[in-house]
Amino acid sequence: MNTAIDIINRTANHINTVLSGDGTGHDWWHVYRVWKMAKRIGHAEQADPLVVELAALLHDIADWKFHDGDLSVGPTRAKEWMDSLGIEPSIIDQVCQIIANISFKGAGVVQPPLSLEGKAVQDADRLDAMGAIGIARAFAYGGAKGREIYDPAASPTEHRTAEAYLKSGGHTINHFYEKLLLLKDRMNTATGRAMAEERHKFMEDYLRRFYEEWEGDA
């Protein structure tokens, strides 16, 4: 029978293999950082560690953004993996529920409530979309999707549906206003909110400098 440590180690190795070589910012190292942060937040908030670690490791096993908006692919593949390890069904159900519901799907989209474990993983995932790492990931994703860096004539959009968010082709600077700068006020836990403050400020400082350099003022 697999111990919790065995389950986590095998899952980490599996995800490392699955996501190796990704160039969109949704690679193994993104998962690694989310995993580490989710453990930190989960411990502080007294969440179930096994559920937190499994959900963090498996949350991008098949991201809906890369599967034509199909929200079922990620939970399905996660369940297949956990079934292969003989994990008890109640844990599998909790993890799959988290994976199905943690992704940001547009500024105007109301998301379903999460368990404490889901809140810890969502906060960790959102923290990795903020700060220096978040900026790097935003431009990596934009480049992978062939998006412009910036177009002053194109204003941000508050996407009202997940479909609109998925189909958005706006430039990367707009993504700051459509998602990244909104995350600080959407954190779930006290631990996550405290960690988000500095990352949010870093993004604001970055944008000020970006606009100065854009106009040749710096």
| Cα separation, 35 vs 48, whole angstroms | 14
Question: How far from chain centre, in Å, is Cα 166?
Answer: 14
Q: Which residue type, as a one-letter code, is found at position 197? A: E
Note the pLDDT of residue 119: 98
CA-CA-CA-CA torsion for 133, 136, 142, 147, nearest 10 degrees?
A: 140
Note the pLDDT of residue 65: 59
Q: What is the DSSP letter of 61?
A: T
Structure tokens at 161: 């549906």
- Give pLDDT tens digits along the chain (218 positions): 689 999 999 999 999 999 988 888 889 999 999 999 999 999 999 999 999 999 999 999 976 555 555 668 889 999 999 999 999 999 999 999 999 999 888 778 888 899 999 999 999 999 999 999 999 999 999 998 899 999 999 888 887 776 766 777 789 999 999 999 999 999 999 999 999 999 999 999 999 999 999 999 87
Domain total in the chain: 1
Note the pLDDT of residue 66: 52
Radius of gyration of the chain (CA): 18
Q: Print the domain residue range for 94.
A: 4-214
Does the model's pTM come out above 0.85?
yes
Is residue 66 within 8 A of residue 49, CB to CB? The reply is no
Question: How far from chain centre, in Å, is Cα 191?
Answer: 17
The CATH code of the domain that includes 137 is 1.10.3210.50
Q: Which residue in 10, 29, 9 sits closest to 19, CA to CA?
A: 29
